[in-house]
């Protein structure tokens, strides 16, 4: 298998048929990565205190999705297939939005933003949401042209928790937005996200997931 990427929580390997395998990184790697970010980007070292919650949240998300996958429209998260009792899984291969934006026109990229928002609504219909809203890294485009949430490590299954994030419009404080190079696309993202990701639309689209936990 060819390694094609690595984030804080998972290493990604390319498989056949436009699929990837995602294997959890070791906790020591997570610790080292957070420490590096804290120093390089002048984050407060209190970031290190978030390591344990990050690990716990990620494991809980994968466990919930694995145990409830038959109740979820898995297309919105790249059709993951989970290994029984384990945190690794396979998923549709995507081109992350950051890379997609670099090779496409403003008109095409605006359409992807529209599709990203619609994908977010689809996750709400399934009773969960990305809470990082680090869209350029967490979402991607499949070979079929669909925008999906690719990073499913650390999701929100609580409507009230998500409502608080929407009130704060937290996506405006994320790395993906702040470092979006194209100012026209950045403006479009800000306007469309703030217009669409509202408490009113949360009430319209949210459907509670009846979570089952395997013993």
Residue written as token pair 């928790």? 161
Q: What is the pTM of this model?
A: 0.89
Q: Count of residues for the chain?
A: 215
Distance CA 201, CA 180 (A): 25
Distance CA 146, CA 119 (A): 9
The per-residue pLDDT for 33 is 72
What lies within 8 Å, CB to CB, of 213 at 6+ separation is 63, 64, 67
Contact 96, 137 (CB under 8 A): yes
Neighbours of 45 (CB within 10 A): 10
Neighbours of 145 (CB within 10 A): 8
Contact 199, 168 (CB under 8 A): no
Strand partners, 5: 12
Question: H or E segment at 41?
Answer: none
Instruction: Write b or e for each residue in 109-142: b if 16 or more Cβ atoms lie within 10 A of its Cβ, otherwise e.
Output: bbebbebbbebbbbbbbbbbbbbbbbbbbbbbbb
The per-residue pLDDT for 27 is 73
Give the DSSP letter of residue 143: T
The per-residue pLDDT for 56 is 79
- For every one of its 215 residues, what pLDDT tens digit does the chain have, with 9 covering 90 and above? 899 988 878 899 999 899 999 998 887 777 777 777 666 656 555 555 666 666 778 889 999 999 999 999 999 999 999 988 889 999 999 999 999 999 999 999 999 999 999 999 999 999 999 999 999 999 999 999 999 999 999 899 999 999 999 999 999 999 999 999 999 999 999 999 999 999 999 999 999 999 876 65
The per-residue pLDDT for 45 is 55
Distance CA 99, CA 33 (A): 22
Distance CA 29, CA 132 (A): 20
The per-residue pLDDT for 66 is 94
The domain spans of the chain are: 2-205
């Amino acid at each position: 298998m060819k390694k094609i990427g690595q984030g804080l929580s998972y290493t990604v390997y390319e498989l056949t048929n436009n699929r990837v395998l995602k294997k959890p990184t070791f906790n020591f790697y997570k610790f080292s990565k957070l420490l590096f970010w804290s120093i390089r980007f002048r984050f407060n070292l209190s970031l290190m205190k978030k390591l344990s919650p990050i690990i716990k949240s990620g494991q809980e998300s994968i466990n919930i999705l694995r145990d409830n996958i038959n109740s979820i429209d898995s297309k919105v998260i790249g059709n993951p297939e989970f290994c029984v009792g384990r945190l690794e899984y396979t998923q549709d291969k995507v081109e992350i939005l950051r890379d997609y934006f670099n090779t496409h026109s403003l008109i095409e990229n605006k359409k992807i933003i529209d599709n990203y928002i619609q994908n977010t609504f689809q996750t709400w219909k399934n009773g969960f949401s990305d809470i990082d809203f680090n869209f350029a890294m967490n979402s991607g485009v499949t070979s079929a042209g669909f925008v999906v949430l690719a990073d499913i490590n650390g999701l929100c299954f609580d409507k009230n928790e998500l409502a608080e994030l929407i009130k704060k419009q937290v996506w405006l404080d994320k790395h993906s937005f702040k470092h979006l190079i194209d100012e026209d696309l950045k403006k479009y993202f800000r306007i469309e996200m703030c217009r669409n990701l509202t408490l009113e639309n949360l009430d319209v689209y949210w459907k509670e997931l009846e979570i089952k936990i395997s013993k």
